[in-house]
Amino acid sequence: MPRVSILVSTYNGEKYLSQAIESLLNQSFTDFELIIVNDGSSDNSERVIRSFDDDRVVYLRNAQNQGIAASQNKGLSVARGEYVALQDHDDISVAHRLHLQVEYLAAHPDIAMVGSSSLRIDAFGVLKSERSAPLNDIDLKWYLMFGQPFVHTSLMVRRRIIEEIGGYSRDPEVRMCEDYDFTSRIGTRYKTANLELPLVYWREYSDSVTFQYVKEQCGGPRAVSLRNIRNVMGQEQVDLDALECLRKLVASPASAKIQMSAPEVLKGMNLYDLLQASFYKSYEFSPNAVRTHRRLCCWKYGKHLVTLTYRRVGRRNFSCRATLFRLGLKLLLQRAWTRGSRFPS
């Protein structure tokens, strides 16, 4: 019985599939099975997979393309490992990835899922940047309300947890954001973490699913985000207009062309106060974790609002900019007044 089941689903992935498989078979941790699901590829993916003569490889094939959720669930149905490691067919795992993640989950039995930071590479494997990930459970639960804080290709999950949530959803509403839905259903119910060390090379290129279906992805992530927020708010009715204002303020980079008015800023930040209070109430975080997270939010969003007052992108009149500055300064002062806090260097 292998300790880890690695799951890779592929559809017409011959270009990068060999590199992905090699990175997994060459792991320093060797007690695993590698389950590869060929989702009805019309290219040479099958030839690439069969070229690897290794007893740890388990090959499954869909006669027709069925999509990510169906393929992942097919692989999960035969998985035998205590842990399930996920990787996309065009990405690469560093040699000690499995070792570190198995070691972490073994030492932290309360953690259901662990991911990591990542290194972004282009189509030719050239390093573009490092993507740091939120590390702690409280930060991950907070970010899940606005987007995906995990790199799907870096995840290792306890198999019993996947069985408890029912695997990947085939709901059309979450099509093309199955990973966000998957991590949300785990992250909102169980404790999770990310390792600070980058353990995967995440390939970003024009032919990737992320780029091909960017328009289709717009609806799905918003639906998952709204569901996560409603889970936190409980019986509170979520004002969708206020939520859109809040998303502009907390989920958009300062360089984005944000069009806002002073009343919209106030509406968004009023929801922020309500949501934050509900967030701390809905989860059993330690007082120290809440204090640390509150200081982090005060610093991050306070600095962001102040930045929006002088950035000349988008349309924000004087009244809007004055409101942004006042609320941003208020957050920064709240952080400064918090006992034991210290501004980051």
Residues 25-80: pLDDT tens digits? 999 999 999 999 999 889 998 999 999 999 999 999 998 988 899 999 999 999 99
| pLDDT of res. 132 | 85
Identify whether residues 70 and 19 lie together within a single domain.
Answer: yes
Looking at the domain assignment, is residue 225 inside a domain? no
CA distances from 59 to 7, 85, 267 (A): 10, 16, 53
Instruction: List the structure tokens of 282.
Output: 């809905």
Same domain, 298 and 159: no
CA distance linking residue 181 with residue 185, whole number of Å: 6
Same domain, 33 and 116: yes
Q: How many domains does the chain have?
A: 2
- Residues 121-144 have a mean pLDDT of 87
Kindly state whether residues 195 and 281 are assigned to the same domain: no
pLDDT in tens, 281-340: 999 889 999 999 999 999 999 999 999 898 888 888 999 999 999 999 999 998 766 654
Q: In terms of pLDDT, which residue wins out, 210 or 200? A: 200
Q: Judge contact between 320 and 302, C-beta under 8 A.
A: no
Collapse the DSSP code of 57 into the 3-class scheme (helix H, G, I; strand E, B; otherwise coil) and give the result: strand
Domain co-membership, 42 together with 177: yes
Residue 120: helix, strand or coil by DSSP?
strand
* 207 and 283, same domain (yes or no): no
Same domain, 170 and 247: no
Contacts of 261 (CB under 8 A, 6+ apart): 316, 317, 319, 320
195 and 243 within one domain: no
Range of the domain at 281: 239-337
Stated pTM of the model: 0.88
Q: pLDDT at position 339, please?
A: 54
Q: What is the percentage of the chain residues whose pLDDT exceeds 90?
A: 65
Asked whether residue 80 falls in the same domain as residue 126, the answer is yes
* One-letter amino acid of 263: P
Mean per-residue pLDDT over the chain, rounded:
88
- What are 131's strand-pairing partners? 118
Residues 6+ apart with CB under 8 A from 265: 245, 249, 320, 323, 324, 327
Domain annotation covers residue 232: no
Which CATH number fits the domain that encloses residue 13? 3.90.550.10
